[in-house]
Structure 1
Amino acid sequence: MSLKLATYNIHRCIGTDGIRDPQRIHSVLQEIQADIIALQEVEYAKTVDELGFTGGGQSLHAVVGPTVISEASKYGNVLLSRYPVLRTRSINISYPGREKRGALDVDICCQDRTVRIIATHLGLIPGERHSQTKQLLQLLHNRPEPIPTVLMGDINEWFVWCRPLRQMHKYFGRNPSPATYPGRFPLLALDRIWCHPSALISKRVRHSTPLSRIASDHLPLTAIML
């Protein structure tokens, strides 16, 4: 059984036209029809359900990982899955003096196998990303049982020879990834989907449609897991 994976920075549902419209993001998710979706920059007042991402016939389970919480809203990472969630952990990977960041570490029962998904959104400065990459790799090495593991999200890194990408490629293997940012004219491969073992991922494709090019400042990135 193959799985369709996706990662998507939805930019608080604010499109490239400056309009906040959760329905457009919901429609893009329906276009993608992924089995497991990592979302970044999700903002909601009470629950993710109010954004409509888990409805509309998709029947998705939602795992939330807010990193910034105020009286008015919650903001951070969300993982959506068609399959039951067995275990979840929310990991704090914040860097001193910078915006709070996190990762969701989730085990999902995909019929005949368990798949581990780590969904994250790294910081904007090099030292921050280097520190967060070290924490994520430590998290990966600390799991003794050998189950397929996916790390996906907005890595905020594009320079192929930078230390964070070199460290990730050393663990997961070097895999090409298409540019996903900015959404209208993508030039930078900020969004990534890695898998260990790497042979389980057959292809990575940016989801570029008239709607996705306006719904957020990032394009979704999809992959097929065998």
Structure 2
Amino acid sequence: MASYNIRKAVGSDLRRRPDRIMTVLSEIDASIAVVQEADRRFGERHTVLPAGLLAEHGWRAVPFENALPNAIGWHGNAVLMRDGVELLRHATLTLPVLEPRGAVLVDLAVAGAPVRIVGMHLDLSGLWRRRQAHAILEHIAAQPEQMPTIMMGDLNEWRVTAGCIADFARTHKVLPTGPTFPAGNPVARLDRVFVSNEMEVEGAGVHQSPQSRVSSDHLPLWLKVRLPRGSRRPG
């Protein structure tokens, strides 16, 4: 799996090149990708990853009903899937906000085993980030069925263990990934991954390549998990 703030496909050269984003995702070779800033921020908020381009590279986007007609995400948060990953259900999560922010929840089946994915892009304000973290955790706890859960995204949190990181860590494992921002010389761990305690993690880290260092202002995260034995899909 992957998490990637693609900055609306604008690279370090200030050119909008969605093909470079597709190349980076291909380098990671993920089955599921959570993407932030997948849609333009103003006007009709067209996606920068149109369906034809996604299909050309073997991806399809989760169809969130709340998304604007030309967008694929909820406040820019999108979830991409490869063939072989089954969509069970999906929802957009309402967060307390100072500026437009959101989160999405998707239940998937991989080789018949269920997994819940939460994608998020939190506020620049530390106070609002913590409120948003609490809201996300409340949404997860209120789901009608519990399952192995992975939360990924751009938290905008510069501190390593404090603030909203500590809030998520009370109920989920924090994976020790490295700095992702800025992509050319990363010093801040703005992008994070949290998993539920029963999840077996085989590896996680930051994907660095010549292409990823120029395609966005963030580097992507990668994650490889083994779903818990005995997992069953809902129903």
In the other structure, the counterpart of 2:26 is 30
The letter of the residue matching 1:88 is H
Decide whether aligned partners of structure 1 residues 64 and 180 sit closer, same or farther in structure 2, where only a CA change above 3 A counts: farther
In the other structure, the counterpart of 1:127 is 127
In the other structure, the counterpart of 2:230 is none
Decide whether aligned partners of structure 1 residues 66 and 17 sit closer, same or farther in structure 2, where only a CA change above 3 A counts: farther
The letter of the residue matching 2:196 is H
Shift of 1:102: 1.0
Is contact 1:88–1:105 with CA below 8 Å preserved after alignment? yes
Q: CA RMSD in A?
A: 2.6
Q: Does 1:104 align with 2:109?
A: no
TM-score between the two structures when normalised by the length of structure 1: 0.87
Decide whether aligned partners of structure 1 residues 114 and 53 sit closer, same or farther in structure 2, where only a CA change above 3 A counts: farther
Counterpart mapping for 1:84-163 below 5 A: 84-95=86-97, 98-143=98-143, 145-163=145-163
SS across alignment from 1:167 = helix
Decide whether aligned partners of structure 1 residues 171 and 150 sit closer, same or farther in structure 2, where only a CA change above 3 A counts: same
Once the two structures are superposed, residues 73-100 of structure 1 have per-residue CA deviations (whole angstroms, 9 ceiling, x without a partner) of 98511100121211000112141xx321
Decide whether aligned partners of structure 1 residues 100 and 69 sit closer, same or farther in structure 2, where only a CA change above 3 A counts: farther
Is contact 1:90–1:104 with CA below 8 Å preserved after alignment? yes
CA distance in 2: counterparts of 1:159 and 1:49, whole angstroms: 31
Once the two structures are superposed, residues 131-152 of structure 1 have per-residue CA deviations (whole angstroms, 9 ceiling, x without a partner) of 1011011112223534111101
Shift of 1:175: 3.1
More strand by share: 1
SS across alignment from 2:76 = strand
In the other structure, the counterpart of 1:50 is 50
Shift of 1:161: 3.8
Is contact 2:9–2:48 with CA below 8 Å preserved after alignment? no
Identity between Structure 1 and Structure 2 (%): 33
Shift of 1:20: 1.0
Q: Does 1:12 align with 2:5?
A: no
Counterpart mapping for 1:208-219 below 5 A: 208-219=208-219
In the other structure, the counterpart of 1:165 is 165
- State the aligned residue count: 219
TM-score between the two structures when normalised by the length of structure 2: 0.84
The letter of the residue matching 1:15 is G
